[in-house]
Each structure stands twice: as structure tokens, then as C-alpha cells.
Structure 1
Amino acid sequence: MSAAIVVIGAGGGIGLALVQHYLQQGNTVYAFSRKAAPLALSVDKLHWYRDNAGDSAADTERRAALLAQIFSQVVSYVFVCNGVLHDDGTMPEKTIRQLDTQVLLTRLHSNVAVPAMYLQQLFPYLCKSPAVRVLVLSAKVGSISDNRLGGWYCYRISKAALNMLVKNVSIEVGRLNKTAAVVSVHPGTTDTALSQPFQTNLPVGQLQSPAATAQRLAQVAANVQLEQSGALLNWDGTVLPF
């Protein structure tokens, strides 16, 4: 019997690759994205929901109805893939002199508030879904103790906050569901729009295709242990420092 998979932020490079990976494995996939589903993925086992990630009463009510429908069956894995490193107007800072607090607030919204909103609505189901695994895409640069280079203020700050969000949720879910695990995951450097400006001079083999990253993340999901709940995991499943 195939497992049901939920992918939030399915329109991005890694999110879409996860959708494709699990469909190829014969799973039923429930995808949430601001974007429309790619025409090439019009298959019976894909359920694609256009979701603007809004938090109005109407947005919340609509999302609640969808989640109730999805979790009427067993869901094995939930991936939360929302995140922004840069946009057309702003790149990561090299010095605090370049810090724009409005950009910081924007990054905190995309990288923390949006995942928090989804986790809040998922919470009732995570507390009763047997052996569910939740993987929230984070970044190694969000590790405070591993930070040796500085810079990238907005992204580092927001990913560190995301890791704390995941830790908090894991504790609360763990009190009510002893079989669940919630982790944040560094997916590794992947050939997507997010990493494209920073791919020059990468060590050979570090840059992975979205398909390869999805395969690695699926392996991490399959191997997450209960005692790892709340941890920041690397793309190979090892625990990274906070």
C-alpha cells in the first residue's frame, strides 16, 4: 500500500522534485503551491492545491477543510519547502552595513511566518497521525554554532528562527504523539533559482540536481528516528549543530 505524501511549497525547485519523486514511486501526493500544477504532472495520484499562503479567515478555513480531507487517510511524510534567499532587488548581505530591516522582515515572513502558519494548521493532525514524519527545509547557514563566516544576515537570522520553530513544534507534538518526528533539514546545494547566483567555483560534486536532492531527502525522511525529532539534519541524515 503506497503512502500519502504532503508537499507544501511544491512549486519551487526542490518541492516540485519531491512531488515528481514520490509520484514515480507510486505514492499519492498532495501538493500546496502558489503556482498552478505543471501540465506534465496531470496524473490521478497528484492532488494540487493553489494556495496563496494567506492567513485571512477565509484562507484558514479553506486550508482547514483541505487538510481534514487529506488526513482522513494515513499520511506518512509532510515536507515544508517554503523559503526565500534573494529576489530581483536584494541579494544576501556581506556586511551589516548592507542590512535593510524591511528586507529582514520580508525574509522572516517567507522563511518563518509562512512555515509557522502551515505547521499551526497541521498541528492537530500531527498529534494523531501514527509515525508521521515532518521535514521542514532549512539551511546549514542557520546554525549559530557553525557560523564561521558571518554575512547573509537576513537569511541566517530567518533560518535560525525557523530551526527554533521546528524545535518548539517537535516538543509539543511529541507530548501528544509519541510516534511522530518533526525535523528541519539542510537539503544541500541544489541547482535551483535560489542557489543559481552562488554556483560559481563550487567544489566538484557539491551541486546536486533537484531530482538527486529529492531522492536524498526521501531517504532522510525514511530514516528519521524518534530521538532526532527537533534536530537540524543534514542532507545525508547526520545531525548538524544548532
Structure 2
Amino acid sequence: MSAVLIIGASSSIGGALAKHYLQQGQTVIWLSRTTADFSDPKLQVIKAPDSAETADWVSHQNFFSSVIEAVQQHQVGLIFNCIGWLHQDSEPKLSPEKSLSQSSGTLLRKTLLLNLEVPVFYLQGLWPYLIKTSGIRYLQLSAKVGSISDNQLGGWYSYRSAKAALNQWIKTASIELRRSNKTAALVTLHPGTTDSALSAPFQRNLPAGQLQSPTQTAEHLAEVAQQLQAEQSGLLLNWDGRVLGF
């Protein structure tokens, strides 16, 4: 049974995924700036670099060499990247824009850093492993609001744009990956609205039954991962496996 790498494992969804796979008896590599608040003999922890330093990607070559050594050792066949950001309660307070007048360079830069640049940083760093590993599955958490064709409500300019860019990046990378590894699957995945710190300020007006617990979300995403085929590489998938439009 192959191991699972979870990037951004200290997030609500990342932590729930880690616990899910540990309960299945699989080895989990927990990659995060924050260590796990629980222990398990099958849990391996790797400390991630500060996201603010990712602009100088060359300086992290040693970090990725150690990560690739770990995933090779444990024969990782499944990777989730759970990194994402939506709002900041500390000063300066930052939140998704309701109107264009609320947009700012500070909000846009941080949104792009944590929803696009950091995920791309990990994708590029793990690329040597992805192109050589048969049957590898890489699921990048994204968001349905990044779908341009689905946008009927407006608002959330920075977040929508960052997720749309992420979806396009993964789509483009999937085409390149297919040339080297036709058995690989690289997709973006909308996890649904999960009860977490990220969604907490925006839960008030949700329809009944739409909010999922982290455990429920992890179960759904694990099912999508289990069913994922190489032919689906490049798609934006919903938490229930449905294909979403770009």
C-alpha cells in the first residue's frame, strides 16, 4: 500500500486527510510549517519553509531534495496540496472584495502568493518525482469560484482570479506531464464548503446541508482520489467527482 503526501497538512482539510489515511493503515507524510498535534507511528513529519521566502525558489533545492528522498523511500503514490488562503483577521485586516473599490495591492499580492505561487512552488519542486512515478496522483485543492464560466455572482476579485490562474496552471502542467508520464493524473479539486477557519466568516447564509465537517470533506476527497484516472488529468473536479467547467 503506497504512502500519501499531504502538503499544507496543518489546515483543517489537510489534517482530516492525514487522519483518514492513517486510519486506513497508510503511511502519511505531513508537510507543513506546523507540526501535527497528534502522534502516530505511521506519521512522518517534514517542516515546510516559510511561505514568505518562496520567491527565491533556488534557495530551496536542498529542501526538495529531502522531500523527494522521503517520498521515494515511502513510495508515495498520492499527493494532496491543501494550501490556500482567503482572509486575515490581524492587521492589516484583509477579506474578499465585495466590490472593485475594495481591491488593494496588499490583498491581491497575498492572495496570489498563497493561492498560486506557493502551490506552483511545490508542484515545480516535486516535478522530478511526478514525471518518473507510474500511476502518481496529484490533487491540488482549488475552488469552484475560480471557474470563469460559473461566475454569476461577482465579487471576490482577488480570490477568484488566483484560483482561476491556479486551475489554468495545473491544466497546463498536466499537458506537459502527460508527455513524460502518461499514467499520471494531475487535477484541481474543489473541496466544497468545509467548516474551518478559512470559511468561518462566510458560513452565515449557507443553505442547509451545504457545510461539511473536515472529516466528511476528507472522506469525499479520498473517494475522488481513489477513483481518479490518468484520462482525467487536467480537469477541475468537484468534491463528489463531477467535472466542473473552467
Shorter-normalised TM-score: what interval? Answer: over 0.9
Gap regions ≥5 residues in structure 1:
none
Aligned to 1:22: 21
Aligned to 2:83: 82
Q: How far off its partner does 1:74 sit?
A: 2.4
1:177-220, Cα deviation, whole Å (9 max, x unpaired) = 01000000000000000110111131111100000000000000
Aligned to 1:100: 104
The answer as to whether partners of 2:7 and 2:31 remain within 8 angstroms in 1 is yes
Aligned to 1:186: 190
Paired residue secondary structure (2:118): helix
1:87-131, Cα deviation, whole Å (9 max, x unpaired) = 111111011111002210111010000000100011111111111
Query: TM-score, length-normalised on structure 2?
Result: 0.94
Q: Distance in 2 between matches of 1:167 and 1:209?
A: 28
* 2:47 maps to which of 50, 56, 61: 50
Q: Which residue identity lines up with residue 8 of structure 2 in the other structure?
A: G
1:24-61, Cα deviation, whole Å (9 max, x unpaired) = 110000111111221x2x11110011112443444331
- Does residue 1:63 correspond to 2:60, yes or no? no
Aligned to 2:235: 231
Q: Distance in 2 between matches of 1:32 and 1:69?
A: 11
Q: Which residue identity lines up with residue 179 of structure 2 in the other structure?
A: R
Please identify runs of 4+ aligned residues in structure 1 that moved more than 2 A.
52-60
Aligned to 1:155: 159
Of the structure 1 ranges 49-58 and 77-86, higher mean CA displacement relative to structure 2 is found in 49-58
Q: Distance in 1 between matches of 2:174 and 2:126?
A: 12
Q: Which residue identity lines up with residue 81 of structure 1 in the other structure?
A: C
The answer as to whether partners of 2:64 and 2:126 remain within 8 angstroms in 1 is no
Gap regions ≥5 residues in structure 2:
none
Paired residue secondary structure (1:30): strand
Q: Distance in 2 between matches of 1:157 and 1:71?
A: 34
Q: Distance in 2 between matches of 1:186 and 1:177?
A: 24
The answer as to whether partners of 2:2 and 2:74 remain within 8 angstroms in 1 is no
Paired residue secondary structure (1:184): strand
Q: Distance in 2 between matches of 1:26 and 1:37?
A: 17
Give the number of equivalent residue pairs.
Answer: 239
- Does residue 1:109 correspond to 2:92, yes or no? no
Q: Distance in 1 between matches of 2:70 and 2:199?
A: 35
Of the structure 1 ranges 65-74 and 102-111, higher mean CA displacement relative to structure 2 is found in 65-74
Paired residue secondary structure (1:162): helix
Q: How far off its partner does 1:73 sit?
A: 4.1
* 1:140 maps to which of 144, 160, 163: 144
Question: Are residues 107 and 34 of structure 1, via their aligned partners in 2, closer, same or farther at CA, if it must alter by over 3 Å?
Answer: same
Q: Distance in 1 between matches of 2:79 and 2:237?
A: 15
Q: Percent identity?
A: 51
Q: Distance in 2 between matches of 1:200 and 1:66?
A: 40
**CA RMSD across the alignment:** 1.2
Of the structure 1 ranges 63-72 and 130-139, higher mean CA displacement relative to structure 2 is found in 63-72
- Does residue 1:3 correspond to 2:7, yes or no? no
